[in-house]
Amino acid sequence: MRWFLMSAVLFTICGAAYAAGDPLTHGMKLYEQRHYEEAASLLRQSLATAGADRLGGINLALGMTYLKSATLHRELQQTSALIYYDYLKRLGTGQGKGGSHFVDLYLAELLLDNDKPGEAAPLLERFLLGENLPAKYLAIAKAELGLCYHLQGDQDKAKQLWEAVVATDPEVQGALAAVFGRAGMAEREPLAMCDKAVAAAKKGGKKIPMRLLKDALAVYTSLSQTDKGLDLIRNADLRTYSYEEKLGKNKTIYFYDLALLEVLTKLYGQAALTYLARSAADPKLRETAEYYLGEAHYRFGSLEQASRFSAASAAAGKLPASYRGRANVREAAILFRQGHRAEAVKEWEGLALKQPADPELLAEAVAACAELRAEAPKLLQRATAAAESGEGKKFFSVNAALGGYYLSRKNYAKAVTFMEAGRDKGNKNKIEANDPLLLVELAEAYYRTKKFSESQEIYFEMGKQFPQVRQIQDALQGIYSREQKSAGDVRIF
Amino acid sequence: MKKIWIALLMCTILFAMTVASQAARKGDARQHGGTLSYGEYGRPATLDPITSNEMISLRLTELIFNGLVGINEKQEIVPELAERWEISKDGRTYTFYLRKDVTWHPREGEAVQKFNADDVIFTYRIMKHPKTITPLKVRYEFIETAEKLDDSTVRFTLKRPILNALAKFSFKIIPQHGPRNPDFLTREDPFVQHPIGTGPYMLQSITADREIVLVANENYFKGRPHIDRFVSKPFADQNIMTQALVYNAIDMIVLVNPRDIPEIQGNKNFILQPYNALSYSFFGYNMRDPLLADKRVRKAFTCAVNRQEMLDSFFNGQGTIISGPFAPGSWAYNLDVQPIPYDPQQAIKLLTEAGFTRGADGIMQKGGKRLSLSLKVPIEKESEAVKRVVLAFKNYLKNIGVEIKVEFKEWQAWKEDVFLEHDFDIIYASWVFDDSADISSLFHSAEIGPWKNNFGGYSNPEIDSLIVESKLTLDHEKRRTINRKLHALLAEETPYTFLWTLTNYTAYQKKVRRVAIHPYKFFSFADDWFIAEKEQK
C-alpha cells in the first residue's frame, strides 16, 4: 500500500516522463530511501536551473523531504534530551579532582533550553568560579547566566552581566545574539550580530564552530530566516563536538550541543511549510501539496491551518482514498488537541471499524493516539488483532505504531516486542528498509530496557546518513560503559 | 549414641525437606515437560567452564553451572550461589555468604554432595594454578587472596579496587570433588568431558553423533526448570541447520545464518529474535613470521580486501564493516576511526615499500622468500558463506601477488594449531565479547603462550601500557578515552584484518514460550522457558 501511495505521489510530482538523471526523480528516490539530507541538498540545488514546469514538483518534493526530516529530528531531539541529560547528570556526579568543569556549562544549557532557568543558574555560577578556564567560555556562561536572570525577572542583574561580556570572539557574539533573541530583545539586533559572527568565523575558509552554528540557527529560525539557515548548514559537519575537555593525558570528554537537534527541527519544519506552500500554487499539485501542508501545519505550524488543509484533503475527490482516510485521522487529532477528546476518539474508533483491513490507516490512528497520549481502547483492540493475525511487510506499520503506543505508555517490554515485529529483520537497522522514526523509538525502548548495544547499533547505522546523531551515540556509550556489568569474557567462535 | 543418630536423622530429613521445598519453589503455573533440541555450529572441545574458550561450551556451561552472582535481564547483579555479600568501604574486600541449600548434580554411585565454601576456594585456586589450561587467569589477576571464613562464607581481598568488580564474581563454580586431579585442570581430566555443576540442567549423555543431552535438575535451588531436556545438536553446515529447523528436526538455532533470515522471517511458525552478541570476524596474522611482523604487509592485506563486496555478496549485506578491535554495538568503539578502504594499488605500494618485488611466477618475494602463506579455517566454519569468504580472500591477495593456501581443519585440531602450537600464518575466525569490551587477553603481550588468546604473538609496549592503565583506572571517562586510543592504534597496527559484525538472530519454534536470551551467554534465563503441554514432543 505504501509503495502504491509513493508511486502515486511520484507520478503526481514527476509526471509521466521522468528520466533517471532528472534531479527531481533522483531526489524522490533518495527521499524514498530516507536519505533526507542528500535529497534536500540535491533538490534545493536544482531549483536554480529548473524549468517552470518542474518548479512545482521540486518544491513539493522539497517540502515532503523537509517535513520527514523535521519529524525525525524532533524524535531525535527528544531521545537526545533523555539520554544526553542522563549522561551529563552521571558525569556531574564524578566531579571533584580530575572531574569535568564543563559538565556544569552543558548541563545548565540543557536546563535553560528546557525552560528551567532557576536550575540552570546555580550551575553557571559554579562554572564561573572555575579556575584556568578559557575566557571565551566564561563569557558565554555570563551571557547565559544573564538570560537565566532575565527569564526569572531580574533585568538589572541580567543587564549587568551582559554588559560585562567581551564579545570579540565569534562564538561569544553568537551566544550573545542567541541570548538576546531568546529574551526577545530585538533592539540588540541579534540577526545582525549573528551575521557578523558567522562572517568572522568563516574568514579564511574555516568551518563554523558547532556552538556558533547552533546559536546562529536559533536566531535565524526565530526570525524565519529559513534560507539563511539552510545555507549555513550546507557544508557543516554535524557530527562535530562542541567542546573537547582534556583532563590529563588519557582523559578527554567531548561535549555536544543538544540544542542543535532542536534548531534543526525548527529549521526543517519551517522549510517544509515554505516549500509546500510554494508547491500548492501549482494547480496540478495543489491537492497533494495541501495534504502535506495539513500535516506540516499540524506538526510545525498553526493548528487552524492544519484543520483547514486537512478538511480540504478529506473532501478532495482526486486524492486516493487512503490519503483521505489519513486526513480524517489528522482531523481527529486536531480535535483532540483542541480539547474535543471524546469526539476525536469516536472518530478514530469509527475509522478503525469502517476500514479494519487497512493496516496503514490503523497505524496512523494508533500513532496519533500514542503522540497525544489518547486512550482509544476499541482502536487498540482492532490494531492489536490486525498485528497479531497479519502476516508480511504490510503489517509492519501497525506493529510499529503499537510499539510507539506502548513506548508512550512506558510499557517498554511490549514496545520492544511490537517494534521488533515491525522491523524488517532482513535489513535490521537499515533506514532504506525501515522508517527511521521506528528505529529511533526502538532505540529508546532498548535504552529503557538497558539493551544498550542494540540501541547503539541502530545509531551506528543511522549515523551513516544522519551524522548529527553522534551526540546520542557518545552519550549512549558513556552510559553503557557505566551500566554494563560483565566479567570481561571473550570467546572464539 | 542414640541421640547422635536421631540428630543425624533429623538433619537428613531437614536437608531433604529443604531440597524438596526449594525444588518446588518456582512459583509459576507453567507446565513442565518437553524437549528442546537446538542446532549448534559444532562440537565443544570441553564442557567445563574453566578450560573452554569457545561459545559452544559457554552456552552449555550456562545451563550446567552457577556463579556466586548472576546478572539478570535488567543488567542488575543478583544473588546466585551467594545469597548476599558485603563490600568493604575501601572496595578491596568482598565477603560472600553462600546458600546452604545447594547440591551438586549427583554422580552415579555417589551420595549427593552439598555445595560449600571449599568449592569456591577450590575453583579459584585451580583457575589460578600455573598448570591449569584456561584463558581466565588474566581476568582474576586483581584478586590477592581468597579465604574460607566458614562453610558458607568466603572472603576475597583484591589487590586494589577496580571498576565493576562484583560482576567478575559471576565465574562458574566447580565442585572440589569434580576433577580427578585436585591441583590443576587440563583438557585430559575426565571432568572436562563429564562435568557436574549446580545449574538447572545436568549432563545426561553424549551420543555417538556427539549430541549432548542435558536433563532437568529436579533439585535446582531456584526451582526445577520447566523443560525436561535440552539437546545440543552439532551441524557442520549452516544451510542444513536452517532446513532442520524448517522441517522440525530441531526447535531452535542459536545463531541464524544471515542469508536465511528472509526465509524464516516469512514463516509464521517461527520466532526470530534479535540479540546483540558483541562479535566480529577477522583474519588474524601470526606475527612470529618475520614477513607478517611487518605492519606494512598486514596493512597491505587489509587494503587488498574488498570487505563491503564480501559482506554484500556472501551475507546479503546483513552486517557492518568494522574499523578496529571492538564491535560497533560496544561502548568502546571509536566512532571516529573509519575502516581502511579497499585499495589494491595502495596494497601493492605498501608491499613494495616493505621490500617485496614480483617474482617470475607473479608472486611477491623478498630476499628469495616467496610471499606464500597458509590460511587455516576450522571445519565447523565450512559453511558455504565462509568458504566463499576465504576463497575471495585468496583471490584478492592473489591480485596483489600473494599466494594463500587454504586449509580446513577439524575444530579441535584447528584450535591446537592456533592456540597451542601456533602453527599457522593466517586464520579466519570470530571473537564474541561480553559487555565489558575487554580486549586485554587478545593483544597484551603477557597473553602470548599456549592456550592464550593472543595467538598471533602481537607485542607492543604502547598497547600493553594502555591496557594496564585501562584496567587500573576507576574513572569511566578515562577508560573510555583509553579504549578510543586502543581502537585507533590497533586499527593502524592491523594485527588482524578486521572484517565485520553480522546481524545476530536466534530462531525458534513458536511452541517454546517465555524465551529471554542473554546476548552473550544465551541460556542464562532458560530455566524459565517452557513448552505448553499439548505441544511437547
pLDDT of A53-64, one tens digit each? Answer: 899 999 999 999
Residue A342: per-residue pLDDT:
96
Put simply, whether A461 touches B (Cβ < 8 Å) is yes
Residue B383: per-residue pLDDT:
73
B367 lies in the same domain as B394: yes
Q: What is the pLDDT of residues B390-413, one digit of tens each?
A: 999 999 999 999 999 999 998 888
Q: Is the per-residue pLDDT at A467 higher than 60?
A: yes
Confidence of residue B317 (pLDDT cuts 50, 70, 90): confident
Cβ distance of B436 and A480 shorter than 8 Å: no
Confidence of residue A5 (pLDDT cuts 50, 70, 90): low
Is residue B481 in some structural domain?
A: yes
Cβ distance of A485 and B429 shorter than 8 Å: no
In this complex, the residue of B53, B168, B435 whose CB is nearest that of residue A492 is B53
> Which chain A residues contact residue B76 at CB under 8 A?
485
Cβ distance of B429 and A492 shorter than 8 Å: yes
Number of domains in chain B: 3
> Which chain B residues contact residue A453 at CB under 8 A?
276, 278, 327, 329-330, 435, 519
B170 lies in the same domain as B308: no
Looking only at the bridges linking them, the beta strands covering B372-378 and B496-498 are: unpaired
Put simply, whether A487 touches B (Cβ < 8 Å) is yes
> Which chain A residues contact residue B503 at CB under 8 A?
428
Residue B379 CA to residue B415 CA, distance in Å, equals 11
**A28 contacts A13 by C-beta, under 8 angstroms:** yes
In this complex, the residue of B266, B328, B432 whose CB is nearest that of residue A491 is B432
Q: Is the per-residue pLDDT at B172 higher than 90?
A: yes
B253 lies in the same domain as B190: no
Residue B473: per-residue pLDDT:
93
Cβ distance of A484 and B170 shorter than 8 Å: no
Q: Summarize the confidence of residues B60-78 as an average pLDDT.
A: 93
Put simply, whether A483 touches B (Cβ < 8 Å) is yes
B393 lies in the same domain as B255: no
Residue of B238, B281, B529, B277 whose CA lies nearest to B382: B238
A367-370 long-range contacts (CB < 8 A, ≥24 apart) are A367/A401, A367/A404, A367/A405, A368/A329, A368/A330, A368/A332, A368/A333, A368/A336, A369/A405, A370/A401, A370/A404, A370/A405, A370/A407, A370/A408
Confidence of residue B45 (pLDDT cuts 50, 70, 90): confident
Is residue B9 in some structural domain?
A: no
Is residue B256 in some structural domain?
A: yes
Is residue B57 in some structural domain?
A: no
H helical segments located in B24-183: 55-64, 117-128, 165-168
CA B481 to chain A, closest CA, distance in angstroms equals 5
Task: Pick the residue of B279, B335, B419 with the most A CBs within 10 A to test the interface with A by mutation.
Answer: B335
Q: List the CATH number of the domain containing B113.
A: 3.90.76.10
- Tally C-beta pairs within 8 A across A and B: 171
Is residue B54 in some structural domain?
A: no
B180 lies in the same domain as B299: no
Q: Of B198, B221, B241, which marks where a domain is finished? A: B198
**A395 contacts A1 by C-beta, under 8 angstroms:** no
Put simply, whether A91 touches B (Cβ < 8 Å) is yes
Q: What is the pLDDT of residues B323-368, one digit of tens each?
A: 999 999 999 999 999 999 999 999 999 999 999 999 999 999 999 8
In this complex, the residue of B261, B266, B436 whose CB is nearest that of residue A486 is B436
B210 lies in the same domain as B86: no
Residue A235: per-residue pLDDT:
82
In this complex, the residue of B135, B335, B434 whose CB is nearest that of residue A470 is B335
Residue B12: per-residue pLDDT:
40
Cβ distance of B335 and A248 shorter than 8 Å: no
CA A93 to chain B, closest CA, distance in angstroms equals 12
Residue of B65, B68, B323, B284 whose CA lies nearest to B174: B65
B472 lies in the same domain as B534: no
Question: Which residues have C-beta within 8 Å of that of residue B177, sequence separation ≥ 6?
Answer: B104, B110, B113
Specify the higher pLDDT residue, A20 or A439. A439
> Which chain B residues contact residue A488 at CB under 8 A?
139, 168, 434, 436, 438, 440
Put simply, whether A452 touches B (Cβ < 8 Å) is yes
CA A293 to chain B, closest CA, distance in angstroms equals 37
> Which chain B residues contact residue A91 at CB under 8 A?
477
Residue A94: per-residue pLDDT:
67
Q: List the CATH number of the domain containing B377.
A: 3.10.105.10
CA A451 to chain B, closest CA, distance in angstroms equals 8
**Closest residue in chain A to residue B322, using alpha carbons only:** A460
Is residue B7 in some structural domain?
A: no
Cβ distance of A426 and B262 shorter than 8 Å: yes
Residue of B26, B445, B502 whose CA lies nearest to B260: B502
Q: What is the pLDDT of residues A195-222, one digit of tens each?
A: 999 999 999 888 999 999 999 999 999 9
- Percent of chain B past pLDDT 90, that is, above it, reads 73
Measured CA angle at A411 (ends A407, A412), to 5 deg:
70
Among A residues 408-427, those touching chain B with beta carbons less than 8 Å apart: 420, 425-427
> Which chain B residues contact residue A450 at CB under 8 A?
74-75
Return phi, psi of residue B318, to 5°.
-90, 75
Q: Is the per-residue pLDDT at B4 higher than 60?
A: no
> Which chain A residues contact residue B476 at CB under 8 A?
94, 478, 481-482
Q: What is the pLDDT of residues A98-137, one digit of tens each?
A: 789 999 999 999 999 999 999 999 999 999 999 899 999 9
Q: What nine digits make up the cell of A289?
A: 501539496
CA B529 to chain A, closest CA, distance in angstroms equals 17
In this complex, the residue of A391, A477, A492 whose CB is nearest that of residue B480 is A477
Q: Summarize the confidence of residues A371-375 as an average pLDDT.
A: 95
Domain of B82 in residue numbering reads as 66-198
> Which chain B residues contact residue A472 at CB under 8 A?
none
User: For chain A, which domains are there?
Assistant: 77-263 (1.25.40), 320-411 (1.25.40)
B170 lies in the same domain as B284: no
Residue A442 CA to residue A459 CA, distance in Å, equals 11
> Which chain B residues contact residue A247 at CB under 8 A?
477
CA B469 to chain A, closest CA, distance in angstroms equals 9
In this complex, the residue of A252, A454, A484 whose CB is nearest that of residue B436 is A484
Residue B149 CA to residue B97 CA, distance in Å, equals 10
**Closest residue in chain B to residue A484, using alpha carbons only:** B435
Q: What is the pLDDT of residues A390-405, one digit of tens each?
A: 777 788 999 999 999 9
Q: Is the per-residue pLDDT at B239 higher than 80?
A: no
CA B458 to chain A, closest CA, distance in angstroms equals 17
H helical segments located in B2-113: 2-23, 55-64
Q: List the CATH number of the domain containing B213.
A: 3.40.190.10
B297 lies in the same domain as B412: yes
Distances (CA, A) of B451 to B51, B273, B422: 9, 34, 9
**B39 contacts B253 by C-beta, under 8 angstroms:** yes
Category of B106 on φ-ψ map: left (φ > 0), alpha (ψ -120 to 50) or beta: beta
Q: Summarize the confidence of residues A180-185 as an average pLDDT.
A: 95
The helix/strand/coil state of B404 is strand
B526 lies in the same domain as B493: no
CA A108 to chain B, closest CA, distance in angstroms equals 20
In this complex, the residue of A100, A426, A486 whose CB is nearest that of residue B318 is A426
Amino acid (1-letter code) at residue A13: I
> Which chain B residues contact residue A480 at CB under 8 A?
330-331, 435
Is residue B1 in some structural domain?
A: no
B498 lies in the same domain as B512: no
Task: Pick the residue of B61, B480, B499, B525 with the most A CBs within 10 A to test the interface with A by mutation.
Answer: B480
Q: Of B198, B222, B253, which marks where a domain is finished? A: B198
> Which chain A residues contact residue B79 at CB under 8 A?
none
Q: Is the per-residue pLDDT at B38 higher than 90?
A: yes
Residue A257 CA to residue A264 CA, distance in Å, equals 12
Cβ distance of A456 and B475 shorter than 8 Å: no
Q: Of B169, B198, B227, which marks where a domain is finished? A: B198
Put simply, whether A246 touches B (Cβ < 8 Å) is no
Specify the higher pLDDT residue, B436 or A392. B436
Q: What nine digits make up the cell of A78?
A: 527528544
Is residue B30 in some structural domain?
A: yes
Put simply, whether A287 touches B (Cβ < 8 Å) is no
Task: Pick the residue of A457, A466, A473 with the most B CBs within 10 A to test the interface with B by mutation.
Answer: A457
Residue A18 CA to residue A16 CA, distance in Å, equals 6
Put simply, whether A109 touches B (Cβ < 8 Å) is no
B346 lies in the same domain as B429: yes
In this complex, the residue of B274, B278, B466 whose CB is nearest that of residue A428 is B274
**Closest residue in chain B to residue A443, using alpha carbons only:** B329
